[in-house]
A and B are shown apart, each in its own frame.
Chain A
């Protein structure tokens, strides 16, 4: 590169570019441009840093924090809702169980009452039946007794008549004894 500066014939303002506007050597190594680039780089970096630290970063951080807050709140309220749902569910289950238990006691009570009434009625009916049976038996036995007595009277009368017809004077006492003996036997 050293000999390019000696090409004094061309009206070149700089050492790194030839007359045709082409680069001599690598433009990256042209020391003439370093100061310019470094200066503007520092200006650029300072500008970017200023924009970032004053405007962009606080804003983005705030947005992210706000979003995080919103999400946290939403999650918390959702959890609360969930808790309430669980509570409501538990209450519902409990009332259902209560109702079921109550229904069971009511049905049990009703059944017991009905059973008791039924038992009472049954025993009353039994008692009535027994009474009736006793009455009937008594009547039957009375009827039987009167029938035996009547047989005895009729037999005695018939025997007395038969004896009278035979021409004999009937002895009432003997006839009666004989009839009693026959009836008994």
Chain B
């Protein structure tokens, strides 16, 4: 019984941590959307900023992957 409660806690925790992945998706979408809005306003400057775009996406995505990692750890490693 005690182990079941512990398992339940793990799964609930993993589910909550999984939310972070979706929130990171919001962040990535925000970065990409704003890039697109800026690029449509000034298309000539867009090509030079793709590297910055990817760096921004990478930073936003990294935190989502951290929360995914937390979920995985809760599920399989704790």
Nearest CB on B from A146, distance (A): 115
Chain A residues near B73: list those with CB within 8 A.
26
Chain B residues near A1: list those with CB within 8 A: 77
Residues of chain B within 8 A (CB-CB) of A26 are 72-73, 76-77
The distance in angstroms between the C-alpha atoms of A25 and B78, with both chains bound, is 8
Q: Interface size on A (CB < 8 Å)?
A: 5
| Contact residues, A22-60 vs B (CB, 8 A) | 23, 25-26, 29
- Using Cβ atoms and an 8 Å threshold, which residues of chain A touch B77? 1, 25-26, 29
Mark out the residues of chain B between 56 and 78 whose CB falls within 8 Å of any chain A CB in the assembled complex: 72-73, 76-77
Interface residues of B in 38-60 (CB under 8 A from A): none
Give the complex CA separation of A179 and B1 in angstroms: 189
Which residues of A, 2-37, contact B by the 8 Å Cβ criterion?
Answer: 23, 25-26, 29
Residues of the B chain whose Cβ atoms lie less than 8 Å from the Cβ of A23: 76
B residues adjacent to A (C-beta < 8 A): 72-73, 76-77
The 8 listed contacts between A and B (C-beta, < 8 Å) are A1-B77, A23-B76, A25-B76, A26-B72, A26-B73, A26-B76, A26-B77, A29-B77
Across the A-B interface, give the 7 residue pairs with the lowest CB-CB distance, nearest first.
A25-B77, A26-B77, A26-B76, A25-B76, A29-B77, A26-B72, A1-B77
